[in-house]
Amino acid sequence: MNRPFNMPDEFVEAFVKAGASLWSALGWTPNADRNGAGFGAAPGSPGRFAELQADHLMRLYQLTEHALKSAAGQPTEVAIEPARGDRRFSATEWRDNSLYSLLKQCYLLNSRYCTDFVEALDLDEKEKHRLRFFTRQLVEAMSPTNFVATNPDAIKIATDSEGQSLKAGLDNLMADLGRGSLTITDEGAFEVGKDVATSKGAVVFENDLFQLIQYEPATEQVAVRPLLIVPPCINKFYILDLQPANSFVRFAVEQGQTVFVVSWRNPDDSCGHFGWDHYVEQGAMRAIEIARSISGADKVNALGWCVGGTILSSALAILRTRGDESVASVTLLTTMLDFREPGDLGVFVDEESVLQRELTIGNGGIYRGAELGFVFQTLRSKELIWPNVVNHYLKGKPPERFDLLFWNADVTNLPGPMYCWYIRNMYLENNLRNPNRLMMCGMSVDLGRVDLPAYVLATVEDHIVPWRSAYRTTGLFSGDTRFVLGASGHIAGVINPASKNKRSYWVSSERCDEPAAWLAGAEERPGSWWNDWIAWLKPWAEDQLPARRQLGSNLYPPGEPAPGRYVKAKAT
């Protein structure tokens, strides 16, 4: 039986383990009797816990005093305010109505106490990280804005609509329970190939794993060496080609690049045997070979994003071991190669959970994209889950029309063997960073053999690939590496169009062992990292030649128009 909203086993198991860690930290034993025997003092500094409790009680007392004075019409100071950027309490009632103000501040004080209490516990860092993550989930779930009776906006809309908003919200809830997932956007508002993924091009190759798309030139002259993009296989490639105004593909083409993009197949049951080696050799390495053949260039420039960057880096290590010099440079966008600090995704990975997946789908089967999508939503529940719950269920509003959320909801499956191998060898055992620890495609893998010029981008608020983890790539490759730190997160930090000149990025020519030392000496520059990257790429793209209007070649003739049919397939 499927759990509501595609909650995967890993989430439930991690939640239970977080609870067990908390009970253990509080000194609970299975033999605790009903009088409380079996509970001991929480490990940690007793003085610190006493401090926390005293401070919390004092603030609650001040808040009570504030509420009484406010009710009597006396001027008072607010005890605590939401963090900057927290838009949950933007309605005027949370500020002007004394009861709502009291409710808000009680919630914020209790939230801070829960968070501080977890930080004060003396736990193994991995256990504390898991407990920290689920404490945040519970704290965000218990916000008074998430309940009809304590959300002034929802009450006002229900009153104005004579209850129709509540009826619509209930209908929305029942529809989502029926489909098994939370609606986060209007999934009928966009059509792939018509509204998003609209850059002109054609499929020039396909196998059972991917289609290779070549895009039409937009300039009279193009660089001799083409650009090959390897996107993540856990999402669809058109995040790089949403709409013309924010399309990275369009930007690269307009800068005179001949662009090829790998469009991974959305696996169904017939793909349940694919492993990691398939993605490396029949995926990235095959795409490099074909892009080079079609362009007629001596080498290609390769770019990988997230898991696509991990696949590409593995392929490059193998190619360099074989003496293959068909790649001139590599660009990695928010990619992890050293998994010692895996961020919040590490919460869901331990020996027990990985072994369970290996026993069920490790030798064949599919890991459902809807389950993976739920996990990614929990990483940003305050932005991706609870606002949609409030708008969709409490206020009865239709989902919003937003291209980025449309892409986010367009999930992809993963082949079980590939997923299990990746989770064990990367997240659980962190084998890739160790020279010759792993065998891929019949060869030992050493990232140190990747002696190419490399452009490594991380983003400062990335919740999937922490920037400090991405920085460690600079110590794994042996070529000249330029590390750039962009503002914002995993998606918005990458899709930051140069034309809008938003945000900023940090650069430094210094090579430091520790990420913090690098950041301390880095220079912040305004605008998009796209301009910095294209300037870096040009020397490796070589000279210009007249653009060819005919896509493909005699050996690889153009087929169906971009974006191809693979990207349009829905996860089943």
Please indicate, yes or no, whether residues 298 and 236 belong to a single structural domain of this protein.
Answer: yes
Does any domain span residue 411?
Answer: no
245: domain CATH number? 3.40.50.1820
- Number of helices (H), then strands (E), in the chain: 20, 16
Return the pLDDT at 83: 86
Please indicate, yes or no, whether residues 121 and 229 belong to a single structural domain of this protein.
Answer: no
Write down the catalytic residue from 271, 306, 420, 441: 306
The whole-number mean pLDDT for each consecutive block of 10 residues of the chain, a chain of 572 residues, reads: 59 63 52 43 63 82 76 66 88 90 92 91 88 94 96 97 97 92 90 97 98 97 98 97 95 98 97 98 98 97 98 98 97 98 92 95 95 90 93 95 92 97 98 97 97 98 95 96 96 93 92 94 96 97 93 97 97 84
Contact 457, 334 (CB under 8 A): yes
Both tokens of residue 553? 């070649």
Does any domain span residue 261?
Answer: yes
Does any domain span residue 355?
Answer: no
Distance CA 106, CA 16 (A): 27
Domain range for 444 is: 201-343+427-568
Q: Which residues make Cβ contacts (< 8 Å) with residue 483, sequence separation at least 6?
A: 456, 458, 471, 473, 474, 508, 518
Please indicate, yes or no, whether residues 142 and 207 belong to a single structural domain of this protein.
Answer: no
Does any domain span residue 34?
Answer: no
Please indicate, yes or no, whether residues 237 and 302 belong to a single structural domain of this protein.
Answer: yes
Please indicate, yes or no, whether residues 220 and 149 belong to a single structural domain of this protein.
Answer: no
Both tokens of residue 394? 């409490």
Please indicate, yes or no, whether residues 150 and 206 belong to a single structural domain of this protein.
Answer: no
**What pTM does this model have?**
0.90
Does any domain span residue 251?
Answer: yes
- Rounded to 5°, the CA angle 66-72-78 comes to 25
Q: Helix 46-71 and helix 98-120: axis angle, to 10°? A: 180
Q: Among the three residues 156, 171, 191, which one is the final residue of a domain in this structure? A: 156
- Report the SS3 class of residue 223: strand
Does any domain span residue 422?
Answer: no
Distance CA 387, CA 534 (A): 37
* DSSP string covering 471-502: HGGGGT--S-EEEEEESS-TTTTTS--GGGT-
Measured distance between the N- and C-terminal CA atoms of the chain, rounded to whole angstroms: 16
552 φψ region: left (φ > 0), alpha (ψ -120 to 50), beta (else): left
Does any domain span residue 361?
Answer: no
Distance CA 113, CA 117 (A): 6
Query: Could you count the other beta carbons within 10 Å of the beta carbon of residue 553?
Result: 16
Is-catalytic flag, 114?
no
Q: Which residues make Cβ contacts (< 8 Å) with residue 434, sequence separation at least 6?
A: none
Q: Among the three residues 121, 156, 191, which one is the final residue of a domain in this structure? A: 156
Please indicate, yes or no, whether residues 329 and 475 belong to a single structural domain of this protein.
Answer: yes
Please indicate, yes or no, whether residues 304 and 442 belong to a single structural domain of this protein.
Answer: yes
Distance CA 208, CA 210 (A): 6
Please indicate, yes or no, whether residues 549 and 489 belong to a single structural domain of this protein.
Answer: yes
Does any domain span residue 124?
Answer: yes
Q: Among the three residues 156, 189, 210, which one is the final residue of a domain in this structure? A: 156
Tokens 């690098």 sit on residue: 518
Contact 158, 148 (CB under 8 A): yes
Distance CA 179, CA 450 (A): 46
Residue 198 DSSP one-character state? -
What are residue 182's phi and psi, to 5 degrees?
-75, 130
Return the pLDDT at 33: 44
Please indicate, yes or no, whether residues 209 and 288 belong to a single structural domain of this protein.
Answer: yes
Q: Which residues make Cβ contacts (< 8 Å) with residue 72, sequence separation at least 6?
A: none
Please indicate, yes or no, whether residues 88 and 148 belong to a single structural domain of this protein.
Answer: yes
Please indicate, yes or no, whether residues 206 and 124 belong to a single structural domain of this protein.
Answer: no
Return the pLDDT at 40: 45
| Number of structural domains found in the chain | 2
Both tokens of residue 94? 């949370």
